[in-house]
Chains A and B, each alone.
Chain A
């Protein structure tokens, strides 16, 4: 979608942009059009008065930046819509899977089924999968996820448990590869597909089954609403039978109320486990069938979590760009007022000079 050069320009523009907002003071000379690097924020009161022309230039440059941030907001909104469509497409799969899986687990409940994917082992090593975004400019999204991951890693290390990392998303990879042992890294993209999720799931399963890790944990950002989403850690392997049964399906929906975009969370309720007919033939042992289904379930879960994280990222970007645009409007208003005041002052001064000259001539 973005060419790298363009993205770089955008980053520069927005970082030039955000600095003054954080310190809530004015800055000077960060003109996008001229490609000048962001100047240090300077408090309006202490700096020398800017001339009318300078002020006018700055208003123009802030206006340009505002155009970019609002465009980025719209782009993010369009992508949320696409991400939502992708989630809807996973419904038939997850619903059927949940039904059959629930039915099987109910049927097997009396016996003790032990699938290697469900057996708890003594934990010496944990594989932590971290999902972040590929890009920045989305508020605190990436840094929250990274902070949470750091916290979890420290917790585990404090318990003398080794940690290996798998990162999904460039930002996480950039941060963690210098600090910890990153075994594998993937990008997350804008709308994760099964083609992306399957190799990841396969790799995680292989790591777990080979005994290279005794538990697989996943850090993803749970999408709650446009303004809040929380990074959470969840154990993916070994799978717990209760977790599979109890889970309802939640999806996010894009809304456009009052002309502004919103995203809501909708729950489709719990899927009832399927009641198999009495004469149902189980071609293999139900246990064996279960162990064929569990990887599917795992695969679906990974895909789901990726989609969830992407939705959170896009929502975070929408919010960040919205507040950047709002700040730009404020800045434009202030600067324009300042400019008009100076213009008026200059006019007043000219008039009083003329009047003074005229009156001294008359005398």
Chain B
């Protein structure tokens, strides 16, 4: 009665387990997946993915990538992933503030692109530990 999820980062498999429900941070908004979903391919933003096993929701930070669902197999390829339990809330808060400052100070194109990415990562991290 469940979907099988594997989250794969470039150098390791981060998560390989079953779950009943998944909410993905797709690049066009949140996307809920239940068992029996039609085959689907979606791009993922930097954001928080939530996995439900029984009644427990586990938030996982995804650093951009894509997801594919076929026959209740959910394969997620990402640049990186972090479980919320590994994130320190105060640290995340500080990082976000630091990144916001950097973002506002960015002058060149390159700095702006990098700062935007880092800001979104910091925001996702904080979001994962807050909820």
Binding site for B on A (CB under 8 A): 86, 89-90, 92-94, 96-97, 100, 104, 193-195, 197-198, 201-203, 205-207, 209-212, 276-277, 279-284, 288-289, 291-293, 295-296, 299-300, 303
CA distance A321 to B100 in the complex (A): 50
Chain B positions 75-100 with a Cβ under 8 Å from a chain A Cβ: 75, 77-80
Count of A-B residue pairs with CB < 8 Å = 119
Task: Name which residue of chain B comes closest to A191, CB basis.
Answer: B11
Residue B113, interface by CB 8 Å: yes
Are B65 and A296 in contact, with the CB atoms below 8 A?
A: yes
> Count the B residues whose beta carbon is within 8 Å of the partner chain — how many?
36
Are A193 and B11 in contact, with the CB atoms below 8 A?
A: yes
Which residues of chain A come closer than 8 Å to B77, judged between CB atoms?
Answer: 93, 96-97, 100, 293, 296
> Interface residues of A: mostly helix, strand, loop or mixed?
helix
Which residues of chain A come closer than 8 Å to B78, judged between CB atoms?
Answer: 296
Are B43 and A93 in contact, with the CB atoms below 8 A?
A: no
Are B12 and A89 in contact, with the CB atoms below 8 A?
A: yes
Interface contacts beyond A92-B6, A210-B109, A284-B28: sample of 13 additional A-B pairs, CB < 8 Å, sorted by A: A86-B11, A94-B10, A100-B66, A104-B41, A198-B79, A203-B114, A206-B113, A209-B109, A281-B39, A281-B41, A283-B26, A292-B64, A292-B66
Partner of A279, one of B6, B13, B39, B112: B39
CA distance A289 to B64 in the complex (A): 11
CA distance A303 to B112 in the complex (A): 24
Residue B105, interface by CB 8 Å: no
Minimal beta-carbon separation of B130 from chain A (angstroms):
24
> Interface residues of B: mostly helix, strand, loop or mixed?
strand
Residue B38, interface by CB 8 Å: yes
Minimal beta-carbon separation of B63 from chain A (angstroms):
8
Residue B18, interface by CB 8 Å: no
Minimal beta-carbon separation of B24 from chain A (angstroms):
9
Which residues of chain A come closer than 8 Å to B114, judged between CB atoms?
Answer: 202-203, 206
Are B80 and A198 in contact, with the CB atoms below 8 A?
A: yes
CA distance A6 to B65 in the complex (A): 44
Task: Name which residue of chain B comes closest to A307, CB basis.
Answer: B11
Which residues of chain A come closer than 8 Å to B38, judged between CB atoms?
Answer: 279, 281
Which residues of chain A come closer than 8 Å to B41, judged between CB atoms?
Answer: 100, 104, 276, 280-283, 289
CA distance A104 to B113 in the complex (A): 26
Are B10 and A284 in contact, with the CB atoms below 8 A?
A: no
CA distance A72 to B64 in the complex (A): 41
CA distance A299 to B11 in the complex (A): 11
Which residues of chain B come closer than 8 Å to A96, judged between CB atoms?
Answer: 8, 75, 77
7 contacts between A and B (CB under 8 A): A198-B79, A198-B80, A280-B39, A281-B40, A284-B27, A295-B64, A300-B10
Whether A209 touches B79, Cβ cut-off 8 Å, given contacts A277-B39, A284-B42, is no
Are A92 and B13 in contact, with the CB atoms below 8 A?
A: yes
Which residues of chain A come closer than 8 Å to B104, judged between CB atoms?
Answer: none
Which residues of chain B come closer than 8 Å to A281, judged between CB atoms?
Answer: 38-41
Minimal beta-carbon separation of B13 from chain A (angstroms):
6
Q: Which 10 A-B pairs have the closest CB atoms?
A: A292-B43, A210-B109, A283-B42, A210-B110, A194-B11, A206-B113, A194-B10, A281-B40, A280-B39, A289-B43
Task: Name which residue of chain B comes closest to A207, CB basis.
Answer: B110
Task: Name which residue of chain B comes closest to A203, CB basis.
Answer: B114
Which residues of chain B come closer than 8 Å to A97, judged between CB atoms?
Answer: 77
Are B109 and A283 in contact, with the CB atoms below 8 A?
A: no
Partner of A211, one of B26, B40, B109: B109
1/0 per residue, CB under 8 A from A, across B110-129: the answer is 10111001000000000000
Are A210 and B113 in contact, with the CB atoms below 8 A?
A: yes
CA distance A193 to B79 in the complex (A): 12
Minimal beta-carbon separation of B108 from chain A (angstroms):
7
Which residues of chain B come closer than 8 Å to A100, judged between CB atoms?
Answer: 41, 66, 68, 77
Minimal beta-carbon separation of B10 from chain A (angstroms):
4
Minimal beta-carbon separation of A189 from chain B (angstroms):
13
Residue B22, interface by CB 8 Å: no
Which residues of chain A come closer than 8 Å to B65, judged between CB atoms?
Answer: 292-293, 296
Whether A280 touches B11, Cβ cut-off 8 Å, given contacts A202-B114, A206-B114, is no
Which residues of chain A come closer than 8 Å to B12, judged between CB atoms?
Answer: 89, 194
